[in-house]
Amino acid sequence: MTTTREFVPYIRRTLQEMPPKFDPPTEGFLRHQGFDTEAVRPMGLNESMFPPSPKVVEAVRSRVHMINRYPDAQCPHLTDIVTAREGVPGENIVWGNGSEELIQGTIHLSLAPGDGMVLPVPTFWGYRAMVRAAEADCAYIEMLPDGKVDIDGVLGAIGNKTRLVFCVTPNNPSGGYLDADALSRLIDGIPDSVLFGIDEAYAEFGRHAGGPDLIAMLKKRRGPWVVVRTFSKAYAMAGMRIGYAICSDGDLAQALRKTTCTFNVPILAQAAAEAALLDTEHLNKLLDWVAEGRAQITEGLKAMGLDPFPSVTNFVSVKIPVNGRDVTVALLDRGYQIHAWPDPGYENFIRITVGNRDDNAGCLVALKEVLAAA
Ligand SMILES: Cc1ncc(COP(=O)(O)O)c(C=O)c1O
């Protein structure tokens, strides 16, 4: 029997038509479901499996007594650090409640319903919901078989209605970055009337692996651009919810700021981010650990006869001979939470977040058993 849906007049029809909001299986979610989360290794959400800097923890402690006060949304101390490092004016920098707030803001500042956007996929799952809620007319450009972005496809999809091209580099879930040649083609090929958005959530891993200096390259672009970064990944602060955007100019930054809430970045998140940015020694240690773990997982998957995507990030993706979702369920039973790509057409692809040596080894053994039994 089919049921007809009753639409109410006071909620936008687009939101009523969208599927229910998907909440990822966080530690809190699993605990609420009755899982013993002490016994589950969280290798599914690309959180850092390594702890934040002790200086971050200390900075948070030292500011706890300030939480009766509103935070300054301009994050002046943080802005000073980024300004000095990247050589961009402070007025071009916008802070967000995680980078996702700024991605959403970029979409909203640029697109009215029906306007065009171009997005290479598969990518971070959050984009599809944000694009749909904005009622954007998005051209989704499928990745090439080796996981690389189809640059010709992206440039060829730009039309009269296009306002925004968004690229994620290094990309989640494929794990590779846009090299200097690919970036140059995009920087030169995207018209000056189109905003070029780049999601660099995994920026620190990309640079550590020898990737290009994106900001330096973008400074040569005549047209507008915005780069969005986060403290959720390399800085091990996913729970803090803080990210930032570097914009090509002050007017663009001002427009992005208008999309954010008044007091969007908590006082404790600002204190934590400041300490994290200054503790470069800890960051480098984490980046080295992740690189080692990534190599361990990649080699382990190859030893099983699989062909993982070359990754520069804190995760490795691979195609497996069976359904990815089934494998994630079986692995969760064995104490490892991993991720199955949700994109249509990629049902046999899984992604494993890098952990410590024991996590990686244990997860590989469990995966081998599950695949053998399938
Ligand atoms: C590519 C990409 N962009 C953005 C995000 C959102 O990160 P944040 O925690 O900063 O909102 C993620 C999270 O996994 C991601 O993978």
pLDDT, tens only, 204-257: 999 999 999 999 999 999 999 999 999 999 999 999 999 999 999 999 999 999
For 125-279, where are the alpha helices, taking DSSP H only?
Answer: 126-133, 151-156, 180-189, 203-208, 214-218, 250-258, 267-278
Same domain, 141 and 232: yes
Q: Which residues contact 240 (CB under 8 A, 6 or more apart)?
A: 231, 232, 266, 268, 269, 272, 273
Same domain, 113 and 245: yes
> CATH number of the domain that 261 lies in?
3.40.640.10
- Testing ligand 1's pocket by substitution, the residue of 103, 230, 231, 260 carrying the most ligand atoms inside 8 A of its CB is 230
Domain's final residue, options 278, 299, 315: 278
Amino acid at residue number 145? P
Amino acid at residue number 368? K
Q: Looking at the domain assignment, is residue 166 inside a domain?
A: yes
Domain's final residue, options 278, 309, 337: 278
Same domain, 255 and 110: yes
Strand pairing report for 315-319 and 349-353: antiparallel
Binned at pLDDT 50, 70 and 90, residue 276 comes out as: very high
Binned at pLDDT 50, 70 and 90, residue 33 comes out as: confident
Ligand 1 neighbourhood includes 106 CB (under 6 angstroms):
no
Question: Is residue 215 within 8 Å of 60, Cβ to Cβ?
Answer: no
Ligand 1 neighbourhood includes 243 CB (under 6 angstroms):
yes
Question: Distance of CA 326 to CAs 19, 192, 285, 338, 355, Å?
Answer: 22, 46, 35, 11, 22
Domain's final residue, options 226, 254, 278: 278
Smallest CA-to-CA distance from 264 within 104, 111, 136, 110 is with 104
* Structure confidence at residue 37 (pLDDT): 87
Same domain, 114 and 222: yes
Same domain, 257 and 356: no
For 40, the domain range is 13-51+281-373
Ligand 1 neighbourhood includes 172 CB (under 6 angstroms):
yes
For residues 264 and 374, the model is more confident at 264
Same domain, 148 and 201: yes
Distance 6 CA to ligand 1 centre (A): 34
Q: Looking at the domain assignment, is residue 4 inside a domain?
A: no
Question: Is residue 247 within 8 Å of 105, Cβ to Cβ?
Answer: no
Distance 319 CA to ligand 1 centre (A): 22
Q: Looking at the domain assignment, is residue 128 inside a domain?
A: yes
Ligand 1 neighbourhood includes 104 CB (under 6 angstroms):
no
- Testing ligand 1's pocket by substitution, the residue of 45, 97, 100, 214 carrying the most ligand atoms inside 8 A of its CB is 100
Question: Is residue 244 within 8 Å of 78, Cβ to Cβ?
Answer: yes
Same domain, 132 and 249: yes
Is the pLDDT assigned to residue 43 strictly greater than 70? yes
* Structure confidence at residue 22 (pLDDT): 84
Same domain, 309 and 273: no
- Testing ligand 1's pocket by substitution, the residue of 23, 202, 232 carrying the most ligand atoms inside 8 A of its CB is 232
Q: Looking at the domain assignment, is residue 63 inside a domain?
A: yes
Number of domain units in the chain: 2
- Cα torsion 145, 146, 151, 152: sign: negative
> CATH number of the domain that 31 lies in?
3.90.1150.10
Same domain, 299 and 272: no
Distance 14 CA to ligand 1 centre (A): 24
* Structure confidence at residue 2 (pLDDT): 52
Same domain, 225 and 301: no
Ligand 1 neighbourhood includes 101 CB (under 6 angstroms):
no
Q: Looking at the domain assignment, is residue 364 inside a domain?
A: yes
Same domain, 227 and 327: no
How far is it, in rounded angstroms, from Cα 191 to Cα 157? 12
H or E element: which one contains 42?
strand 41-42
Q: What are phi and psi of 317, to 5 degrees?
A: -110, 150
How far is it, in rounded angstroms, from Cα 200 to Cα 226? 10
For the chain, where are the alpha helices, taking DSSP H only?
Answer: 13-17, 27-32, 54-63, 76-86, 99-110, 126-133, 151-156, 180-189, 203-208, 214-218, 250-258, 267-278, 280-303, 324-333, 357-373
Per-residue DSSP letter, 114: T
Q: Looking at the domain assignment, is residue 5 inside a domain?
A: no
Question: Distance of CA 249 to CAs 62, 75, 188, 210, 252, Å?
Answer: 35, 18, 18, 27, 6
Distance 202 CA to ligand 1 centre (A): 8
* Structure confidence at residue 145 (pLDDT): 94
How far is it, in rounded angstroms, from Cα 332 to Cα 41? 9
Q: What is the mean pLDDT of the chain?
A: 96
| DSSP conformation letters of 199-214 | E-TTHHHHHHTT---H
Same domain, 45 and 120: no
Distance 105 CA to ligand 1 centre (A): 14
* Structure confidence at residue 4 (pLDDT): 67
How far is it, in rounded angstroms, from Cα 266 to Cα 260? 13
Distance 99 CA to ligand 1 centre (A): 6
* Structure confidence at residue 111 (pLDDT): 98
Burial 331-347 (b: 16+ CB within 10 A, else e): bbeebbbbbbbebeebe
Ligand 1 neighbourhood includes 99 CB (under 6 angstroms):
yes
Smallest CA-to-CA distance from 111 within 163, 154, 159 is with 163
Question: Is residue 177 within 8 Å of 310, Cβ to Cβ?
Answer: no
Smallest CA-to-CA distance from 150 within 185, 124, 106 is with 185
Per-residue DSSP letter, 336: E
pLDDT (tens digit per residue) in 293-331:
999 999 999 999 999 999 999 999 999 999 999 999 999
Q: Looking at the domain assignment, is residue 3 inside a domain?
A: no
Binned at pLDDT 50, 70 and 90, residue 346 comes out as: very high
Q: Looking at the domain assignment, is residue 7 inside a domain?
A: no
